[in-house]
Amino acid sequence: MQGREQWATKLGFILAAVGSAVGLGNIWRFSYVLGEGGGFAFLIAYIICIFLIGLPVLLAEITVGRKGQSDAIGSFEKIAPGKWWKIGGVLGVLSGSLILSFYGVIAGWVFYYVFSYLSGSAGGVAEGGYGDYFGGFIGGTVGPVFWQVLFMAIVVGVVYFGVKKGIELANRMFMPLLALLVVILAIYGLTMDGAGEAMNFMFSPDFGQLGNMEVWGMAIGQAFFTLSLGMGAMITYASYLPKETKLPSAAGTVVTLDTLFAIFAGLMIFPIVFTFGLDPAAGPELIFITLPEAFGQWGTGGTIFGIFFFFLVGIAALSSAISLLEVGVSWAMRRLDWSRKKAALTAGAIITAFGIPSALSQGGPLSQPIFGYSFLDLIDTITDQYTLALGGMITALFVGWGWNKIEVLRETGLQDTTIGAIWIWFLRIVAPVGIFYIVANNFYNMFIASEESMSYLIIQMINYFL
Ligand code: PHE
């Protein structure tokens, strides 16, 4: 076997991990869950989840990957041969690939918007017309698939060239560009009339909503998604790290930069929403319909902002998608003994093909709901609300209970430290209990409390197969 690939520098790893973390989650998803969760209360719940659950689990994943020096499944196998813990890795590879299948679809929409702002077609839509404009595009047949495939081809292209020459190099270019763009756009946002209201919405204390479990459910789901946890991505990236790297500082840097990026994204988006009197709780369509409405009313300035805005979102999505593909590629290279090129092309093709039903499910020919969900929403819900969290929980339990504590702490460089002791207990109790509570809550809301209760779903299921 030839030597395993490695990052050229520690900075390369950090940039790639930040690239994985910063994505659609920080802009598209963060802004709409923040809007739906009522602003400040959500932000507090989110920051608590990030530091109490996200950071400990991130450090656990990085530790597993670096120690295992293998893909998401192989790393568990190496550290605990013959044990069931590798299910954490299996869930990771599955969820990573499933998420990429629809992530590529949404990223395709983003790239379509860049193109349409550049070509002038998006800027020329009449007031109030963006709902139809967006609906018309995603409900088409050729358009959504074309942009999805194009996006996925770029992702495959980067992964094809390997850890150093593909992934590391791409992130070295993308990350500074992203930071620059988000800061400029946020500063611009802060000069707009609605900036005060936006600041109020995001930062003025209102603790009422903190009693609302749904806000916590959204917060922890967001924390997992935005930190790329539970999907094998961080395990895989960390497995290309040499032994010397200090893991806690790397994890801290990734969490801090990811959180800052989300806050800046909020500062760029909400001033626009409030300046133009739009609804911050518009949901997933916030960046695709609500914001373009604002760009439209704002004229040429809006078109220019729109170009840079969607370009920023597109690049952020690209660096995340790269890490998602690498999860499956890394697995196939070891397990099936494929070359990187073959693994990248094959895994990329399978995941893209599996994403096509998602691309066609938003008003297109495959819109027939399955158990009440569109295909895209179904895959999104299964991964987001369940497999992700379970994968993360298994990793936390493994590092907390399943693996020798002294060895774990030696591996992270936290032996004989208070932080190390606290971290282990967070992994043993706080993270699993928190995750379990939220998953149970999601389950309850979905199957028992909602109108679409279990019995309703069963009837639908039967109807579906008849
Ligand atoms: N963290 C990415 C985002 O915020 C999504 C992602 C999840 C990427 C899992 C890789 C792995 O968009």
Cα 193 to ligand 1 centre (Å): 32
Q: Best of 155, 228, 258, 383 to mutate for ligand 1, by most ligand atoms within 8 A of CB?
A: 228
pLDDT at 1: 45
- Residue 261 amino acid letter: F
24 lines ligand 1 (CB under 6 A): yes
Q: Which is the closest atom of ligand 1 to the Cα of 30?
A: 4
Q: Is 104 in the pocket of ligand 1 (CB under 6 A)?
A: no
Which domain, by its residues, includes 374? 10-434
Q: Are 424 and 400 in contact (CB under 8 A)?
A: yes
Residue 54: Cβ-neighbour burial (10 angstroms; 0-12, 13-18, 19+): buried
Dig out the tokens for 390 from the structure. Answer: 């379970």
Record the tokens describing residue 224, joined without a space.
Answer: 């997992």
Q: Report how far residue 260's alpha carbon sits from residue 438's, in angstroms, rounded to the nearest whole number.
A: 25
Q: Please state, in angstroms and as integers, the Cα–Cα distance from residue 304 to each residue in 117, 147, 301, following that order.
A: 8, 21, 5
Q: How much is the pLDDT for 216?
A: 83
**Is residue 164 a part of any domain in this protein?**
yes
Let me know: does 21 contact 55? Beta carbons within 8 Å: no
- 455 belongs to a structural domain: no
Each residue's pLDDT tens digit in the chain (466 positions)? 457 899 998 899 999 999 999 998 898 888 888 888 888 889 999 999 999 999 999 999 999 999 999 999 999 999 998 889 999 999 999 999 999 999 999 999 999 999 999 998 888 888 888 889 999 999 999 999 999 999 999 999 999 998 888 898 888 888 988 889 889 888 988 888 899 999 888 888 777 777 777 788 888 888 988 999 988 999 999 999 988 788 999 999 999 999 999 999 999 889 988 888 888 887 778 889 888 988 888 888 889 889 988 999 999 999 999 999 999 999 999 999 999 999 999 999 999 999 999 999 888 888 888 877 889 988 988 888 888 889 999 999 999 999 989 999 999 999 889 999 999 999 999 999 988 887 888 787 777 665 555 555 666 666 666 6
- Cα-to-centroid distance, 299 and ligand 1 (Å): 33
Q: How many CB atoms lie within 10 A of CB 299?
A: 10
Atom of ligand 1 nearest to the CA of 227: 1
**DSSP H or E segment with residue 331:** helix 300-335
Number of domains making up the chain: 1
Residue type, 108: G
Q: From the CA of 258, give the closest atom in ligand 1.
A: 4
Q: Is residue 445 part of a domain?
A: no
Task: Determine the residue type at 220.
Answer: I
Query: Does residue 461 belong to any structural domain of this protein?
Result: no
Mutate which of 97, 100, 319, 320 for ligand 1? The one with the most ligand atoms within 8 Å of its CB, which is 320
Q: Is residue 439 part of a domain?
A: no
Ligand 1, pocket-test mutation among 226, 227, 264, most atoms within 8 A of CB: 226
Assigned domain for 14 exists: yes
Residue nearest to ligand 1 atom 8, measured at CA: 320
Report if residue 102 sits inside a domain: yes
CA distance 427 to 326: 26
Closest Cα partner for 227 from 80, 431, 83, 448?
Answer: 431
Contacts of 273 (CB under 8 A, 6+ apart): 35, 194, 198, 279, 280, 286, 290, 291, 294
Assign residue 80 the CATH number of its domain.
1.10.4160
Residue 453 domain flag: no
How many whole angstroms from 20 Cα to the centroid of ligand 1?
6
Predicted pLDDT at 449: 64
CA of 225 to the centre of ligand 1 (A): 6
